[in-house]
Amino acid sequence: METLIKGIPELFGKSIGITKNDEVHVYVDVRDGEKLPCPECGELCKRAGYENKERVWRHGDCVFFPCYVHCRRPRVNCGKHGTKVAEAPWARKSSRFTLMFEGYAMLILSDMPISKAAKLLRCNEKALTKILRHWVSKAVAESDLSNVTSIAMDETSFKKGQSYVTAVIDAAERKVIDVEEGRKAQTVIDFSLMLEAKRGDCTKIEYASSDMSSAYKSGIDFCFPNAKHIIDKFHVKKELLDAMDEVRKAEQRELKAKKNAVSRKLLMIPQARQTEAQSLKIAELSKQFPKTGRAYRMVQAVDILYASRTMDEAEINFKKLHQWLKKSRLDPMKRAGDTLKKYKNEILNYFRSHLTNAICEGINSMIQAAKRKARGYHTFEGFSSMIYLVAGKLKLACLNPLR
Ligand SMILES: [Zn+2]
């Protein structure tokens, strides 16, 4: 029986048929009499007839037609477990797909949205999500977190912002090690329990980075007593960008300008990456919309803070930025200044070591990329499995049909 999955081409001569529906069907016979392993204990057992009904598995396409493998599996008589149906070596227990198909589906899923994958594989999304969840949770369950010392956590929304998940990253290995439902202090506690269950040690966590939420702060303080809590550039900038956007909207209303007279997208482009035309346009808009222009310049000042080379320099630049925000006469910017002040220590922790810069850099873009690919999954399990698949550097045990 073991040879059968690789031997499917051999069987073509014997039992291939293309039906009216453009499908390929492969019928597999099992040699009579040969002993087969018990599905429970693996002991080679005597045969005891066949299962009542033939079973069908979906296999990878043949000559561009969906291919199905048919077999009536033999039963075995085990001394310990009684009469059992022998498992087909080309599929895992209770799956309606062959291992080869599942391996191919995993390759496709890691590369495209689920709706597209379902179309290409001619298979429904629910079945694909089930395959994804099986192989991902198997790999995640087997992971060893004993070497984790730096973590970064980030919230991410799904189901159009109705639900939130927290992704936790091993910052040194740059991979997602946990995805938890929610974004509360309890979420951090759930992660810490999982860490300890996988041979990790909460007291060994030296750095923990997150955004400016008090839930994460209290969770980190509670679970990781030796960790320096870092709030990185991405989150500081985001706080100010959100405040600037409030200023922009209010000023557009105030001046009775069109809704998107100042393009939000344009203002989001980092100064270093602007084309000449873009920076000219921003300068021109800043004159027409002076409040937005001022808020824009405050956002740019974050880069000055992060160019600081020493702790002293960072402290001075932080103070300057904070004072500017406080005296801005723009309420959203003033509020952002208050938030920054509240997290001053965590923001300055970034400058304590060059190591932390390397850790924080790029982590958020990694999460964003994973999140983009996870779009289209409607359940927490599907969404989190996709995040693991894209950003978890998993050792998947499924077959790779292209190897
Ligand atoms: Zn047995």
Q: What are the residue ranges spanned by the domains of the chain?
A: 1-96, 145-230+379-389, 233-349
CA of 32 relative to ligand 1 center, distance in Å: 20
| 18: region left, alpha or beta (phi > 0 left; psi from -120 to 50 alpha) | beta
Long-range Cβ contacts of 310-313 (<8 Å, 24+ apart): 310/351, 311/348, 311/351, 311/352
Tell me the pLDDT band of 3, cut-offs 50, 70 and 90. very low
| Tens digits of residue pLDDT in 296-316 | 999 999 999 999 999 999 999
CA of 143 relative to ligand 1 center, distance in Å: 29
CA of 80 relative to ligand 1 center, distance in Å: 5
CA of 47 relative to ligand 1 center, distance in Å: 13
* Averaged pLDDT for residues 158-174: 88
CA of 90 relative to ligand 1 center, distance in Å: 20
By C-alpha distance, which of 52, 140, 59, 148 is closest to 103? 59
Over 70: is that where the pLDDT of 8 sits? Answer: no
CA of 98 relative to ligand 1 center, distance in Å: 24
CA of 397 relative to ligand 1 center, distance in Å: 25
CA of 113 relative to ligand 1 center, distance in Å: 42
Mean residue pLDDT across the chain: 89
In whole angstroms, what is the distance from residue 315 CA to residue 352 CA? 11
> Poorest-confidence range of 136-145, 195-204, 246-255, 370-379?
370-379
CA of 86 relative to ligand 1 center, distance in Å: 10
The residue count of the chain comes to 403
List of E strands, 159-279: 163-170, 175-181, 207-210, 228-231
Higher pLDDT, 375 or 396: 396
CA of 102 relative to ligand 1 center, distance in Å: 27
| Tens digits of residue pLDDT in 236-294 | 999 999 999 999 999 999 999 888 888 889 998 888 889 999 999 999 999 999 999 99
Share of the chain above pLDDT 70, in %: 93
CB 296 within 8 A of CB 282: yes
CA of 132 relative to ligand 1 center, distance in Å: 29
pLDDT of residue 9: 41
CA of 363 relative to ligand 1 center, distance in Å: 48
Which residues crowd ion ligand 1, with CB under 5 Å? 38, 40-41, 78, 80-81
| Tens digits of residue pLDDT in 43-84 | 999 999 999 999 999 999 988 889 999 999 999 999 999 999
* Averaged pLDDT for residues 205-211: 92
CA of 50 relative to ligand 1 center, distance in Å: 17
pLDDT of residue 1: 35
CA of 193 relative to ligand 1 center, distance in Å: 36
* DSSP 3-state percent helix, strand, coil across the chain (nearest 5): 50, 20, 35
pLDDT of residue 158: 83
CA of 45 relative to ligand 1 center, distance in Å: 8
Under CATH, which architecture does the 145-230+379-389 domain have? 2-Layer Sandwich (3.30)
CA of 84 relative to ligand 1 center, distance in Å: 8
CA of 42 relative to ligand 1 center, distance in Å: 6
Task: Phi first, then psi: give them for residue 347, nearest 5 degrees.
Answer: -70, -45
CA of 69 relative to ligand 1 center, distance in Å: 26
CB neighbourhood size of 243 (10 A): 24
CA of 106 relative to ligand 1 center, distance in Å: 32
Strand order in the sheet with 74-78: 36-37, 44-50, 74-78, 82-85
CA of 43 relative to ligand 1 center, distance in Å: 6
CA of 76 relative to ligand 1 center, distance in Å: 9
Residues 106, 110, 111, 113, CA torsion sign: positive
CA of 39 relative to ligand 1 center, distance in Å: 7
Over 90: is that where the pLDDT of 233 sits? Answer: no
CA of 37 relative to ligand 1 center, distance in Å: 8
CA of 97 relative to ligand 1 center, distance in Å: 24
| Tens digits of residue pLDDT in 210-224 | 999 999 999 999 999
* Averaged pLDDT for residues 181-199: 96
CA of 40 relative to ligand 1 center, distance in Å: 5
CA of 87 relative to ligand 1 center, distance in Å: 12
Share of the chain above pLDDT 90, in %: 70
Q: pTM for the complete prediction?
A: 0.83
CA of 94 relative to ligand 1 center, distance in Å: 18
> Poorest-confidence range of 38-47, 110-119, 221-230, 370-379?
370-379
In whole angstroms, what is the distance from residue 225 CA to residue 398 CA? 39
